[in-house]
Structure 1
Amino acid sequence: MRAENEEVSFEEWKQTMIKNCPTFQYWDLVLEFEILALIFIRAHRINDFNLYLESLKALTPWFFSLDHINYARWIPIHIRDMESLSDNFRNEFEKCWVLRKTHSKFSCIPIDQGHEQNNELVKGSGGAVGLIENPTAFRRWMVAGPEQARLLTEFESQFMGEENSWCKQHEQGLSAQDLFQKHANSMYQTMTGMGNPFKDNCLELLALDSHNCATEGVVETIRNIKRIGETQYQNYVNVVIKTGTVSIHKPIKKNSIPLLKRQSSKPATKSVQKIASLRSDCNLFSHLFIASKFRDGDLDDFFLYENHPWPPSISEHGKLCLPNRKAELLSCLGGSFVEAPITFHAKIFDGPAVVHCLPTKVSTFEEYANEVFLPWTS
């Protein structure tokens, strides 16, 4: 037994909260996923190829559990290819798998991002508008554009001077740090004003602002989503990559697990709903027939009340009937219309209909009222 005043380690407290509070487990998963994404970015920025592979391995199970089929199919192959590089080739590959355009710290970028930045330099301020329609001019621009961008970059570097190797990353500046501290304090004050949501060991998944509860299916997803992804990832690696017993082109079955904003499944067809309704009615009438044999029941009195959870006259399987056209409402009148009386005390006109019927050869609302609308109504 643990004493009441004995301190609990952070890891033990965390595991206890994860076990007892779905809201805590949800935000723990969010924090873990965001840290993985930041580590993945960090691997590129500091040119750490091993960290890149490890973070990619940690992210891949999420592609399986969240049904990102293309990523789930091909990223394990990419990881296998990168791990299969020979030592000599890998040493050379690690020197050029990212680009460094400046001497600033934490500034390496992936090769495709470097290509996009070079394309922006080649296009210039005006872009490539109009060149696609002229094949000769477009071909000349494609050949000479990169060279012109290179000469321009070299000229600017000579004019501005070489950058110092000790140059800091832009977010290490004082203004960026002050802004980050301001945002952190603002978030802390907001969370403090709303109250600590992790103090209550609530057994439901709650929204922090509105305290709305998620469904049981979403809570079950929070409990098992990580395990589902890791299991599918390991099984895919074993049967597709290691043993090769399953083709890589075999369809990957989607999990379709309930999420906070995932669309609900398609509703049943009208025929299925009608059959279910008839079965419910038959069950109700059979119970009524049995009860009427042993009790004095009045069927006429029973049928005075609705035996459905929703009125069948204005709804269909729980959904309100909405006519597609206003003309469908006329069928309810039975085709019998009352003629307008000869004598009356007042007339009521449909204002928008009158406006559309009257001519509009005026330029202002005042002229329309004085010259058209008011004379017609009087």
Structure 2
Amino acid sequence: MGVTEDPSALRRWMIAGPEVSHLVAQYEAACGTKEGTEHTSHHEETERAQRVFFENVEKLSQAMKDMGNPFQEESRDLLSLDTKDIAHHTAAELIGTHLEKGEVRFQEFMKGLEGEEESTFYEPIKKNRVDFFRQVPASVDSSKQKVLKEDCQLFISCQSRQCDLKEFFRHENQSHPAALSDGGKLHTCQKSHLTTILESQVTTPEAEPDADTIIIDGAALVNSLPPRSSKTFEEYAMLDVLPTIQAYSTKYKRTDIVFDVYRPSSLKADTRSKRGCGVRRRVTGKGKIPSNWRNFLRENDNKAELFNFLADKIARVATPNVVIVTKEEDAVSNRTINLAGGGTMQS
């Protein structure tokens, strides 16, 4: 009764109990007091335990074959071994603070035992809940209201001092002109508006013109070919993308595919940031296709890896005619071709 009612005695018993039990077992073995027929084998030495162990080893081996060996991952990113989702860098940095936060929780727990509060040894330490693969919400600009208030105060002070309002409105009172930008971000328009203007200036032919070469926008091609029955990126390339490329190569003597390159200094980078970001995912042959394809394509790094992956697959595909595809700043081909300057392009 003293052990169960006194927390300090219980802690001493929990710490010393295993060692005392070990010493008693050694004494009984030396004195020969144990019966020879008593079963002393380890609980994991049974036939059932060994069978379950080998089954788990086979499952682990098969998982490594399907998803890749996690010990061969060379990236410094924090990613899920199953889905290959990459955690946001701000969330991944929280790993370095786990030890410090755990020590803080432990110190709070020990102070609760030593203090006057009604705390017992059996109360669990509160868990630090961190979701490393959460999507970071887009930051909301909260300075617009402040800017409007400052402009209002400036306008009122100009009126009270009887300043020339025409001269006042001739000058910008903000670092970013409101007529051109919204908080420093340029105003954008819809592409469909520009398309209407361009179509009014040219005559669209009714029939497709005869041509030996076709140039394909690679990003538009990927957006127009969402995965149907593909489960992995390898299947997506083989079942969805490459058959389309082979069909073009049958019709044209040369097929050029141009993939986008995502530079931070690009004017289009601001437009892409307004669309939001998706979950970062590693693109590998055995990697699983994300369930939300549109959300996957919102992330520039996802598209860059996907385009490079598809470029390598296209460069190795067998087609009736030549296919040239861009890979970041370079270009690759599925066969050797002679260039105008006397050089050659290798696949």
Structure number with higher strand proportion: 2
Structure number with higher helix proportion: 1
TM superposition score normalised by structure 1: 0.27
